[in-house]
Structure 1
Amino acid sequence: MHWRNRPFADGNDEERTAISNFTLLWSVMEGRVLDRKANPTSLLAAVKALAQRGPLRLSSFEASLTYFRDRYFQGGEFTYHFENLLFRKPDCRPLVEGVLSGSDDDLEHVVGALLLITYRLRNNLFHGEKWKYGIREQQENFRHASDILMRIIELHPA
């Protein structure tokens, strides 16, 4: 069966490219940074280790932080898009809520929250949630998630 007859065809070329790039970058990050053990605990530990090696810079993550804040927190409330991340109990939702709402601006927490959002996007993509309604309107999500992953890979010693 041709790929155009599958749900991946729902998106345009830019959406498919964004998802393909994200998938590759996630794989690289998980292998290099997390030793193939992706979970909320390992993500936050990786951020802590990066912060201990050298200074994290908000400027590296600011565009993605702004994007996700605008998408997930508006008018003093979390949006339905935030609920659609489908946080599970171990996913450190309170940390992410604090960062997105602006009540927690600790840089290590900011980077950790962005990685946790990226992790939720990854789980929803890899485990099928994103496919329930196709991949429409996901390009910016995955573009910013890829930017976050690239920054983490760049900060991690080779």
Structure 2
Amino acid sequence: MVLSNHNPDAAIFVPTKLEAAIRSVQPYFKELNSLDKAALAQFSLIWTIFESRIAEKLSLEGRSVNAKQICIYSDHQDVNCLPQNQTNQAVEFWHQRYIDAGQPNASFGSLNFKDWDKKELVIATLKCTEHSPENRKAALIIIYRIRCNLFHGTKWEYGMQDQRENFQHGVNVMLEALGADAGLLPV
């Protein structure tokens, strides 16, 4: 299941009372179209499954994961044997989004990296124009930062503007990693 901007099944149903309640506490929600809402919902759902899988693999007993644990999980996957089509597409997208003239731009800064989030690894990977075994690790860290910004509110400061592709690439990378982890065919 690869997400795209033109998926006719991407609409999400939010009951009227629930939508009214969400709008009362988050006014930007009404500005999201059905594709944005679908991407947001799919990202949130797949993240919870992905995080659960990492916690299970690393015996974290239900705790939330962090960037260090995502790197450990990624290191346990033999990236040379795994499909990385979605990962490479995501890294190419994020290179265009976050790197200008070979340097991280203001949009990259909005990912709000913390000291422990392996920011230098992500920058080095995004600056590189060739596919690398580090692509999956860097992509998963970017997804983790998108998740943190979404779940902790900073994405809403901007009204969720221009986030659909971030969510779509995030879902595709997580599904690719989960599929590879489970021994499934590439998505």
Q: Same fold, TM exceeding 0.5?
A: yes
CA distance in 2, matches of 1:121, 1:45: 19
Question: What secondary structure sits across from 1:51 in the alignment?
Answer: coil
4+ runs deviating over 4 angstroms? none
- Supply the RMSD in Å over aligned alpha carbons: 2.0
- How much does 1:65 deviate? 1.2
Could you say which residue in structure 2 is the equivalent of 1:51?
A: 78
Question: What secondary structure sits across from 2:38 in the alignment?
Answer: helix
Could you say which residue in structure 2 is the equivalent of 1:153?
A: 178
TM-aligned CA distance change 1:48 to 1:104, over 3 Å: farther
Note the 1:27-42 alignment, pairs <5 A: 27-35=48-56, 36=62, 37-42=64-69
Instruction: Letter of the 2:76 partner, please give it.
Output: A
The reply to whether residue 17 of structure 1 matches residue 38 of structure 2 is yes
* Worse-matched range after superposition: 30-39 or 77-86: 30-39
Q: Which has the higher contact order (CA 8 A, sep 6+)?
A: 1
CA distance in 1, matches of 2:78, 2:86: 13
- How much does 1:74 deviate? 2.0
The reply to whether residue 113 of structure 1 matches residue 138 of structure 2 is yes
TM-aligned CA distance change 1:104 to 1:46, over 3 Å: farther
Question: What secondary structure sits across from 1:28 in the alignment?
Answer: helix
* Worse-matched range after superposition: 111-120 or 7-16: 7-16
CA distance in 2, matches of 1:110, 1:27: 22
TM-score by length of 2: 0.76
Deviations 1:119-154 (CA, angstroms, capped at 9, x unpaired): 000000000101112112111111101111111111
TM-aligned CA distance change 1:59 to 1:133, over 3 Å: closer
5+ residue gaps in structure 1?
none
- Retained in 1: the 8 A contact 2:67–2:118? yes
- Retained in 1: the 8 A contact 2:99–2:127? yes
5+ residue gaps in structure 2?
1-16, 57-61
CA radius of gyration, larger in: 2
- Retained in 2: the 8 A contact 1:10–1:136? no
Deviations 1:69-109 (CA, angstroms, capped at 9, x unpaired): 100112222111101000000000000010001088541x2
Aligned residues: 156
Question: Percent same amino acid at aligned positions?
Answer: 26
